[in-house]
Amino acid sequence: MNETTPTREDGDVDQTMRREPFVFTGTAREYFGIWLVNVFLTILTLGIYSAWAKVRRMRFFHGSTWLGDASFEYHARPGQILLGRIIALALIATYNLALYFAPGFSIVLAIGFFLALPYLVMRGLRFRARVTSYRNVRFDFEGGYWGALLAYVAGGVLTWGTLGVLAPVASRWIWSYTLGNLTYGGRPIDCDPRLEKLFGQWWLPAILFGGGILLFLIGSVALGYLYGSELADIVGGGGGVGTLTAGVLALIYVGFLPLIVLYVIVGLLYHAGSRNAAVSETVIDGRHALASTLGRWRYVWISITNLIATVFTLGLLRPWAAVRMARYLAICTAVDTVGALDSYIDTITDEGAAVGAEYMDVEGLDFGF
Amino acid sequence: MAFEPAVTGTWHAARSGRDIAAELFVFDEDTAAVRDTQTGAILARGTRSSLVVSRRVGSVPRRIGFPDDSVFVSRDNDGVDRLLADTIGHGSRWLVEIERFRPRLIVLVAAVALLAVGVYRFAVPLLVEAAVLATPEIVPELMSKGVLASLDETAFSQSMLSEQRRAGIATGFHELAALAPRGAARFDLQFRSGGSIGPNAFALPDGTIVITDELIELAGSDDDLVLGVLGHEIGHVEHDHSLRQLYRAAGVVGLIMVIGGDVGSGVQDLLVQGSALLALSYSRRQERDADRYSVEIMARAGRDPAAIARFFELMRTRFGDTGDSAILTTHPATGERIEETRRYAAEIAQNGPAVPSD
The rounded distance, in Å, linking the Cα atoms of A137 and A278 is 24
Contact between chains at B258 and A85 (C-beta distance less than 8 A): yes
Q: Is B85 helix (H, G, I), strand (E, B) or coil?
A: coil
With CB atoms and an 8 Å threshold, state whether A322 touches B100. Answer: no
Evaluate if residue B119 carries a pLDDT over 70. yes
Distance CA B58, CA B77 (A): 9
Q: How many whole angstroms separate alpha carbon A135 and alpha carbon B19?
A: 8
- Per-residue pLDDT of B33-71, as tens digits, reads 999 999 989 999 999 888 889 989 989 999 999 999 999
| CB–CB contact A364 B265 (8 Å) | yes
A135-166: per-residue pLDDT in tens?
Answer: 999 999 999 999 999 999 999 899 999 888 99
* H runs (alpha helix) in A153-242: 155-161, 167-178, 195-235
- CA nearest B57 in A: which residue? A60
Judging contacts by C-beta atoms under 8 Å, the chain B residues touching residue A53 are 261-262
Q: Do A315 and B254 touch (CB under 8 A)?
A: no
The pLDDT of residue A140 is 92
- CB atoms under 10 Å from CB of A240, counted, come to 7
- pLDDT tens track for B237-266: 999 998 898 889 888 888 888 887 788 877
B322 Cα to chain A: minimum distance (Å): 8
List CB contacts (< 8 A) between A93 and chain B.
250, 254
More confidently predicted of A241 and B269: B269
* CA dihedral (B247, B250, B255, B256) positive or negative: positive
The pLDDT of residue B208 is 92
What averages of pLDDT result for each successive group of 10 residues across chain A (369 residues)? 45 71 95 94 91 94 94 92 88 81 78 89 90 92 93 91 91 94 92 92 93 85 72 54 64 77 92 95 92 96 94 92 96 90 76 69 50
For chain A, the helix, strand and coil percentages under 3-state DSSP, each to the nearest 5: 60, 15, 25
Contact A158, A173 (CB under 8 A): no
Per the document, the length of chain B is 358
Q: How many Å apart are CA A35 and CA B106, to the nearest integer?
A: 13
Please report the residues numbered 220 through 249 in chain A whose beta carbons come closer than 8 angstroms to any beta carbon of chain B: 237-239
Strand partners, A141: A182
* Residue of chain B whose alpha carbon sits nearest to that of A316: B109
- Assign residue B195 a region (left: φ > 0; alpha: ψ between -120 and 50; beta: otherwise): left
B266-283 CB burial, b ≥16 within 10 A, e <16 = bbbebbeeebeeeeeebe
- Contact with chain A for residue B98, Cβ under 8 A: yes
**Minimum CA–CA partner of A364 in chain B:** B265
Write down the pLDDT at residue B137.
84
Residues 92-151 of A with CB under 8 A from B: 93, 96, 100-104, 134-137
DSSP A270: H
Rg of chain A taking only CA atoms, in angstroms: 24
B77 contacts chain A (CB < 8 A): no
- Residue A363: the pLDDT is 57
Comparison of pLDDT for B94 and B114, the residue scoring more:
B114
DSSP conformation letters of B139-185: HHHHHHHHHHHHHHHHT-EE--S-HHHHHHHHHHHHHHHHHSTT-GG
- The bridge status of strand A282-284 relative to strand A288-292 is antiparallel
- Give the per-residue pLDDT at B196: 81
With an 8 Å Cβ cutoff, is A364 touching chain B? Answer: yes
Record: contact A59-B60, CB cut-off 8 A: yes
> Nearest-5° angle of CA A116, CA A120, CA A124?
170
Contact list in B for residue A33 (CB cut-off 8 A) is 98-101, 105
Confidence of residue B102 (pLDDT cuts 50, 70, 90): confident
Instruction: Return d(Cα A269, Cα A303) in angstroms, integer.
Output: 10
Question: Which of A2, A8, A31, A43 would you mutate first to test chain B, the one with the most B CBs within 10 A?
Answer: A43
Reduced to 3 states, what is the DSSP secondary structure of residue B21?
A: strand
Name the helix (H) or strand (E) containing B74: strand B71-74
CA A271 – CA A265 distance, rounded (Å): 10
Q: What are phi and psi of A228, to 5 degrees?
A: -45, -50
Which comes out higher in pLDDT, residue A88 or B355?
A88
Strands of B20-28's sheet, edge to edge? Answer: B42-47, B31-36, B20-28, B7-12, B71-74, B62-65, B52-53
Residue A228, SS3 per DSSP:
helix
What gap in Å lies between CA B200 and CA A270, rounded to an integer?
47
* Inter-chain CB proximity A9 and B264 less than 8 Å: no
Q: Give the SS3 label for residue B59.
A: coil
Answer whether B116 touches A (CB < 8 Å). yes
pLDDT at res. A8? 53
Question: How many helical (H) and strand (E) elements, i.e. helices and strands, does chain B have?
Answer: 12, 11
Tens digits of per-residue pLDDT, B200-244? 898 998 899 999 998 898 888 888 889 999 999 999 999 999 889
Q: Least CB-CB distance to A342: which of B18, B146, B320?
A: B18
With a CB cutoff of 8 Å and minimum separation 6, the contacts of A28 are A319, A320, A323, A324
* Residue among A36, A41, A257 with most chain B CBs within 10 A, to mutate: A36
Give A178-199 as a DSSP string: HTTTEEETTEEEEE---HHHHH
Q: How many Å apart are CA A344 and CA B261, to the nearest integer?
A: 32
User: HSE-up of B260 (CA within 13 Å, CB side)?
Assistant: 23
Nearest to A47 among B12, B101, B258 (CB): B258
d(CA B238, CA B207): 8
The strand ranges marked E within chain A are: 17-24, 65-67, 70-74, 132-134, 137-141, 182-184, 187-191, 282-284, 288-292, 333-338
Chain A residues in contact with B242 (beta carbon < 8 A): none
Chain B nearest-CA residue for A136: B17
Residues contacting residue A308 through CB under 8 Å, at least 6 positions apart: none
Contact B268/A at CB under 8 A: yes
B85 touches A: beta carbon within 8 Å: no
Q: Which residues pair with B203 in a beta bridge?
A: B209
Instruction: Judge whether B264 is closer than 8 Å to chain A, CB to CB.
Output: yes
Q: What is the pLDDT of residues A35-47, one digit of tens each?
A: 999 999 999 998 8
What phi, psi does B308 have (nearest 5°)?
-65, -35
**B126-134, long-range: CB < 8 A, 24+ apart:** B127/A46, B127/B247, B127/B251, B128/B244, B128/B247, B128/B248, B128/B251, B131/B243, B131/B247, B131/B251, B132/B240, B132/B243, B132/B244, B132/B247
CA distance B163 to chain A (A): 30
Determine, for residues A136 and B16 on separate chains, whether the beta-carbon distance falls below 8 Å: yes
Instruction: Tell me what ipTM this predicted complex has.
Output: 0.81
Q: B255 to chain A: which residues are within 8 Å by CB?
A: 43, 46-47
Nearest one of A262, A300, A293 to A275, comparing CA atoms: A293
Distance from C-alpha of A6 to C-alpha of A343, rounded to nearest angstrom: 11
Phi, psi of A215 (to 5 degrees): -55, -40
Spacing of C-alpha B56 from chain mean position: 34
* Strands A288-292 vs B52-53: parallel, antiparallel or unpaired: unpaired
- B17 and A42 within 8 Å at the Cβ level: the answer is no
Number of H helices, E strands in chain A: 12, 10
Q: Compare all CA atoms of chain A with the CA of B257 and give the residue at the minimum distance.
A: A362
Q: What angle do CA A52, A56, A57 make, to 5 degrees?
A: 115
Burial A269-285 (b: 16+ CB within 10 A, else e): bbbbbbbbbbbbbbbbb
B63 interface with A at CB cutoff 8 Å:
yes
The tens digit of pLDDT for each residue in B126-171 reads 999 999 998 888 888 888 888 888 888 888 889 888 888 899 999 9
Q: Which helix (H) or strand (E) holds B32?
A: strand B31-36
Cα–Cα nearest to A126, from A52, A188, A182: A182
Is A38 close to B262, i.e. CB distance below 8 A? yes
**pLDDT averaged over every residue in chain B:** 86
Question: How many CA atoms are closer than 13 Å to the CA of B155, on its beta-carbon side?
Answer: 15
Smallest CA-to-CA distance from B147 within A93, A103, A106 is with A103
